[in-house]
């Protein structure tokens, strides 16, 4: 990757995504499930850029969405409607209505109250809603507490007994068609055991539903496959698939997974320019033009992202790499070993493809960074850098109004 050329062409801070890497990641999962009917969905929340969605649509991906905005993005980018799942713990009536009218594959329901709303809206529209129920298996995914979702204390899904009751309710409703079963236990998972445990619990429920003549067609194992940020040993897609398949022998379900980070995380780089160095006593800081508004993961989860120099080598000393935002929590890396740096030197923050841009903000009135795709050695802009005009667009109109008007 020619970071120097990309920086001079598109300026910094800049997100760069390697589309060939995304293809390779997608194909590795698809192959792992080769022996079965499968649908590899992309969790749009990880990075919702339309060009990324289109690239994945071309590879045959479906999408897991958690808001109507994500459903609209998926449709806009050309994802087949029968491959779109709408998940999430809270859906507004208008969102449910939109999803039903668009006839997407299924709505993933997370509570009894939600199921009743879906039923009422489907009835109003005189249609039948295809749904899945999200099971909370009470399994510890052994990941960061903020991104662990499969424990009873988390807000997600319903326990297996409640799930069973909901399925029976669906069976007796002309407006609900229970086609799927779903379970997602967390994110950045690097231990296979929680997957095995969670799918065993969900598969048992699947079998008991079959006995009740509730015929589930889609078995959604969620997402969460971890990647390497530092020294983690990620689960191989083959082992992931085997841990799922081992629990499903004798069943004829289509396996669905909804991966975000695994598909795009390591494809992404955040390229940033050094503004200057400073020393507070013995503490060395490298101040760069990217900040927590661009990549909040280090500040929010103490997440580690490797940071490398682009055109300077050699050892140096430890420094905190910090942004211009007025918060002490604004850092991209702590105690990073870096050579002496000068104004305009480039640093690259790695593994920034997932939950980077999609969690970025305009905090401190900073326009969001541009995004670039690289494929077959060619690069192109996939999101323009925001301007000051963009920042004030939705406000400026109201300046003209007086309180007395």
Determine if 188 is a binding residue for ligand LLP (CB under 6 A): yes
CA distances from 288 to 322, 333, 349, 355 (A): 6, 11, 11, 20
The residue range among 92-100, 220-228, 229-237, 340-348 that interacts with ligand LLP, by the rule CB under 6 A, is 220-228
Piece of 90-98, 222-230, 305-313, 325-333 that binds ligand LLP (CB under 6 A) = 222-230
Q: How far is the CB of 182 from ligand LLP (least distance, A)?
A: 8
Q: State yes or no: residue 164 binds ligand LLP (CB under 6 A).
A: no
194 in contact with ligand LLP (CB under 6 A):
no
Give the residue at shortest CB distance from ligand LLP. 260
φ, ψ dihedrals at 331, nearest 5°: -140, 155
Which residues are CB-contacts of 321 (< 8 A; sequence separation ≥ 6)?
Answer: 285, 286, 288, 307, 331, 332, 333, 334, 336, 338, 347, 349
Distances (CA, A) of 132 to 11, 208, 232: 45, 15, 33
CA 245 to chain centre: 24
What's the rounded Cα separation, in Å, for the pair 108 and 111? 10
- Catalytic residue from among 41, 63, 183, 326: 326
Following DSSP, what letter does each residue of 121-144 receive, concatenated? HHHHTT--EEEEEEB-------S-
Q: Residues 260-299 vs ligand LLP: string with x where CB under 6 A?
A: xxx----------------------------------x--
> Whole-number minimum distance, CB 296 to ligand LLP, in Å?
8
Residue 316's contacts (CB-CB under 8 Å, 6 or more residues apart) are 337, 338, 339, 340
Could you report how far apart the first and last alpha carbons of the chain are, in Å?
56
Give the pairing type, strands 346-350 and 307-309.
Answer: antiparallel
198 is an interface residue for ligand LLP by CB under 6 A = no
Closest separation in Å from C-beta 152 to ligand LLP: 16
* Contact stretch for ligand LLP (CB under 6 A) within 5-13, 52-60, 258-266, 392-400: 258-266
| Catalytic residue flag (residue 257) | no
Single out the segment in contact with ligand LLP by CB under 6 A; choices: 180-188, 269-277, 332-340, 389-397: 180-188
If one asks whether residue 64 binds ligand LLP (CB under 6 A), the answer comes out as yes
- Alpha-carbon gap, residue 160 to 140, rounded angstroms: 16
Q: In this complex, which beta carbon is closest to ligand LLP, that of residue 13 or of residue 353? A: 353
Single out the residue of 13, 137, 222, 353 in contact with ligand LLP (rule: CB under 6 A): 222
- Closer by beta carbon to ligand LLP, 60 or else 316: 60
Q: Which CB atom, from 184 or from 273, has the smaller least distance to ligand LLP?
A: 184
- CB nearer ligand LLP, residue 275 or residue 303: 303
Helices 68-76 and 93-102 cross at an angle (nearest 10°) of: 30
Contacts (Cβ under 8 Å, ≥6 apart) of 244: 195, 199, 219, 221, 255, 257
Q: Does 234 bind ligand LLP (CB under 6 A)?
A: no
Three-class secondary structure of residue 181 per DSSP:
strand
**Residue 147 found at the interface with ligand LLP (CB under 6 A):** yes
Kindly identify the residues of this chain, within the stretch 298-337, that bind ligand LLP according to CB under 6 A: 301
Structure tokens belonging to residue 172: 């007796």
Report the nearest approach of ligand LLP to the CB of residue 340 (Å): 32
Contact 294, 352 (CB under 8 A): no
Least CB distance to ligand LLP at residue 134 (A): 7
Kindly state whether residue 259 participates in binding ligand LLP, applying the rule CB under 6 A: yes
Active site residues: 326
Name the residues that contact ligand LLP, by CB under 6 A. Answer: 43, 46, 64, 87, 147, 149, 184, 187-188, 222-225, 258-262, 297, 301, 354-355
């Amino acid at each position: 990757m020619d970071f120097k050329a990309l920086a001079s062409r598109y300026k910094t801070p800049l997100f760069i995504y390697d589309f060939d890497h995304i293809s390779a990641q997608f194909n590795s999962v698809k192959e792992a499930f080769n022996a079965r009917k499968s649908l590899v969905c992309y969790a749009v929340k990880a990075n919702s850029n339309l060009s990324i969605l289109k690239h994945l649509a071309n590879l045959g991906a479906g999408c897991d969405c958690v808001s109507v905005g994500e459903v609209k993005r998926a449709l806009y980018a050309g994802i087949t409607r029968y491959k779109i799942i709408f998940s999430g713990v809270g859906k507004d009536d208008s969102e449910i209505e939109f999803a039903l009218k668009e006839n997407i594959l299924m709505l993933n329901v997370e509570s009894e109250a939600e199921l009743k709303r879906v039923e009422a809206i489907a009835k109003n529209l005189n249609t039948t809603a295809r749904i899945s129920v999200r099971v909370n298996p009470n399994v510890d995914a052994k990941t960061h507490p903020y991104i662990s979702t499969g424990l009873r204390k988390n807000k997600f899904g319903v326990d297996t007994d409640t799930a069973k009751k909901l399925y029976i309710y669906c069976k007796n409703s002309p407006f609900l068609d229970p086609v799927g079963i779903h379970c997602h236990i967390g994110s950045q998972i690097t231990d296979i055991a929680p997957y095995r445990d969670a799918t065993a619990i969900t598969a048992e429920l699947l079998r008991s539903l079959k006995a009740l003549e509730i015929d589930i067609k889609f078995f959604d194992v969620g997402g969460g496959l971890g990647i390497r940020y530092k020294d983690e040993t990620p689960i191989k897609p083959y082992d992931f698939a085997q841990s799922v398949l081992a629990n499903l022998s004798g069943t004829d379900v289509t396996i669905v997974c909804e991966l975000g980070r695994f598909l795009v995380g390591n494809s992404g780089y955040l390229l940033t320019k050094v503004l200057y160095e400073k020393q507070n006593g013995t503490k060395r800081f490298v101040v760069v033009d990217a900040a927590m508004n661009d990549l909040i993961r280090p500040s929010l989860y103490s997440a580690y992202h490797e940071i490398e120099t682009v055109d300077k080598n050699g050892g140096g000393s430890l420094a905190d790499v910090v942004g211009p935002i007025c918060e002490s929590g604004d850092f991209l890396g702590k105690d990073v070993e870096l050579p002496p740096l000068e104004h305009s030197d480039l640093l690259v923050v790695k593994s920034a493809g997932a939950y980077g841009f999609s969690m970025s903000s305009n905090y401190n009135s900073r326009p969001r960074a541009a995004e670039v795709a690289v494929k077959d050695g060619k690069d192109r802009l996939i999101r323009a850098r925001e301007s000051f005009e963009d920042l004030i667009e939705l406000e400026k109109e109201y300046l003209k109004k007086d309180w007395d008007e």
